[in-house]
Structures are given as structure tokens and as C-alpha cells.
Structure 1
């Protein structure tokens, strides 16, 4: 019988690839998505479609009101999502699309879910190479959270559970991620990575689209997700 693993699933390229990796490693993925007040809430439909297509038996969507705090162009209507930045620009500083404490909150919820399920493994799609400079996407953060996880739960303290936090994309380029997902049979047409995505598709101009399109190009593949008409 496969061991359960909690997989954080946004519906984007990275998290979908991680879901495929977890399944390929023999785990039974239990997907966890978040409605956190993001403007690009269409990604949640993608998450549901991906989970269904990949045979996920349990997919939970939690409502976490991070938009109540604001402080990010992904959740605050008074802030504009940056567009038109080059790949080099994206690597400079922490952009306005950083959502304060988002991955900390998400992993904390995943930890609670894992303890209830008796799952010792949590998968997250953070990446320290082709990313937007977010502090909660670094190896140091993942290592620190894993230490915290094994101090913070009854199951761990009582010796019934040891939590491992897996970030299999951490040192991969976006092209590497696309190649690995393609090898594992991921249908990227179902995924949405765009920070401004709506019913028309993805904008093709935000940081996330820029990184995604470059990844497909460097992998020698065509991105099958729909983009806004030009």
C-alpha cells in the first residue's frame, strides 16, 4: 500500500510537476490547495482539474484570508502586478508579488493535514533558481520548517511520526522542471501559472509567465496553456 503524502497544489506548472514526482516515487498524494484571496483565483479550477486527471483521491481546498492583510500585488486591489520585466530584472530584489508569510502559512496547514492523515511526507514546489526572489522559496526556509515540524506536533514528539518536507524542484531550472514533468506525462495544458490569469487564459507578460515561457523555450517545447489574444 502506498504511503500518503501531502502535496501543496496551486494548479501551476511547478506544483503539478511535484505532484507527478510524488506519485512517481510511490506515494499516495493527498493534495492541498488554498483560496487565499488571490486575484488569479482561476488557478483553483486548474488545481481541481489536475488533481482529478492525476487520480488524486483526496483534494482539499482551504480558505485562508491572506488578502485581509494586503501587502502583495497578488491579493491587494490597490497594487498592480508588475509586467514586462526581463528574466534578469526578475532576479533583482523581492517583487510586489511576494505574499507575506504565504509558504509558512501553507506549510503549517499541510503539517496539520499530515498529522491527521498519519502522513510523514510533505511536498512543495519551491525553487531557488528560476524564481522571483521570494525568501520562503530558499533551502534554508525548508530546512528550518522541517525542524519546526518535528517539534510542533504531538505525533512527532511522541515518536509516532517524523515529518520530511520535500522540495524536489529546489535546484532545477524551469527548463529542467518542464522536461521532468513531460517525462512523467504531465499535461501542462491544464496548468495556470500566470499572476493575472482570467477566463481568456494567461497574460504572457507577468514574471511568472516570463519564467514559464522561457522554461518551455529552453526545453525545446511549446507551452500548451492558453494565452491572451494579441
Structure 2
């Protein structure tokens, strides 16, 4: 009998876990709802690979049922400062969709999470996208989340048979300060997370990229000490 069937009778969920602040908060929220959580991270050729070690730490501390790392070669496609070393990570706010946007990233991530969820019998998939304090990525918008949920229930046997999926984005309308406050209340150890787009091999943040800026502003606005390790 599989581990998924013996640990508990509680419903299962797949949580996308990048190793950053938002996804760690989402995992804590899912567990607070009594869900058996399986976490999934992606080694997609990102320059900030320290986030993968951070995801492992967060998953281990949360005692998830299983943590899976899936490899894909998005740096072979390029087109983003996060996957193409010839494109510099910008330091400071940008107009429009920034060059740190990774083409089709959340679509691919959710698709693989959907496949695993169907195998596990999980019917909820959690993702830490946000439409308030975020960098302007099109695949973080509520319209995208709603559209993917419709796709998930059209494209799967479970959906067709009436036992469909929910794409959960609990941070969607929260400010970064509200996210930090919620995570602290749930016991999230943010010192274990890595958000920086160009963190070094030890996970130390640059303190200058857009992700570092949003994270620092969130702790400041929440009135909490920032546990981020800077180089």
C-alpha cells in the first residue's frame, strides 16, 4: 500500500515550493487546513539555484509527505534574466513586464503539479502567486489561475469524471507585509528561505534585485526584523 494511503485519511494537496518567502507561507497555510502536503520544486536552469536547497530545508522542517524536485531545461529556451546568463538581473524597479519573467514558467509548473496530483489522488494544488506586491508577471494574475483551473478540469480523467481540481492561490490579494505576518503567525522560519534572483551558492541575497526589494519592504511594513542573509 502506498505512503499516500497509509499516513492519514486527510485530503492531500500538492504545493509548489520554490524555497522563497511566498511558497513557504503557502505550505504553512495548506498544512494549517489539515491537508497532507506533497511539495514540488523545479530545477529549471535558474541562476538562483540556492532556492532549491532552501526548498529542501523548508519541506524537511514542515515534515511534508514527500518532496519532489523535477528537472527541466528552460535555460535552453532563454529569454529571461533568470535563465540566460547573457541577460543581467536588473537592480531597481522596471516599467512593464520585467526581464526576470520566465516564459511559460507557471504554466509548466502547474501542469506537472497537476499530473502528480492526479496520480496521488490530490485535488488541491497550491501556488504562491500574488497580484499585489509582485513584479508584474502575467502568470501571477487571478485570470491566469482561474483559466488554469478550468484547463485542469478539462484535461484530466479526474476532472472529466467529476472529481475535479482546485488551484489555490491564498496569497493572491495579500500585500507582502500581510504575507509575512501570516507566515510568522503560522511559525514559518523565513531565515530558511531564499528569495533573491541572484543569490550566491550559500543562499546569501544581493539586496538589490526586485525580489530582494519586495521582501525587505514586506518585513519593514510588517514591523518585523528581516532574517534575510545578505552577502
Scaled to the shorter chain, the TM-score interval is: over 0.9
CA-CA distance at 1:183 after TM superposition: 0.2
SS at match of 2:101: coil
CA-CA distance at 1:21 after TM superposition: 0.3
Q: Does 1:182 align with 2:190?
A: no
Map of 1:16 onto structure 2: 24
CA-CA distance at 1:222 after TM superposition: 1.2
- Among 145, 149, 154, which residue is 1:146 paired with? 149
CA-CA distance at 1:199 after TM superposition: 3.0
Q: Does 1:208 align with 2:211?
A: yes
Post-superposition Cα deviations, 1:7-61, rounded to whole Å, max 9, x if no partner, equal: 0000000000000000001111100000000000010000000000011120000
How many residues matched? 222
CA-CA distance at 1:225 after TM superposition: 2.1
Aligned mates of 1:100, 1:199 — CA distance in 2: 25
Q: Contact 2:49–2:201 (CA<8 Å) still a contact in 1?
A: no
Map of 1:165 onto structure 2: 167
Aligned mates of 1:5, 1:142 — CA distance in 2: 16
Gaps (5+ residues) in structure 1? none
Q: Does 1:109 align with 2:117?
A: no
SS at match of 1:94: coil
Q: Contact 2:14–2:37 (CA<8 Å) still a contact in 1?
A: yes
- Among 21, 37, 47, which residue is 2:45 paired with? 37
Aligned mates of 2:178, 2:201 — CA distance in 1: 29
Aligned mates of 1:175, 1:183 — CA distance in 2: 12
CA-CA distance at 1:112 after TM superposition: 0.2
SS at match of 1:6: strand
SS at match of 2:201: coil
Give the structure-2-normalised TM-score: 0.95
Aligned mates of 2:37, 2:200 — CA distance in 1: 28
Map of 2:196 onto structure 1: 194
Give the structure-1-normalised TM-score: 0.95
Post-superposition Cα deviations, 1:77-129, rounded to whole Å, max 9, x if no partner, equal: 1100001x1xxx35x31000000000000000010010000100000000000
Segment drifting more, 125-134 vs 195-204 = 195-204
Any runs of at least 4 consecutive aligned residues in structure 1 with deviations exceeding 6 A, and if so which?
none
Map of 2:67 onto structure 1: 59
Map of 1:134 onto structure 2: 137
Map of 2:99 onto structure 1: 96
CA-CA distance at 1:157 after TM superposition: 0.9
Map of 2:225 onto structure 1: 222
Gaps (5+ residues) in structure 2? 1-8
Aligned mates of 2:97, 2:160 — CA distance in 1: 36
Q: Does 1:155 align with 2:158?
A: yes
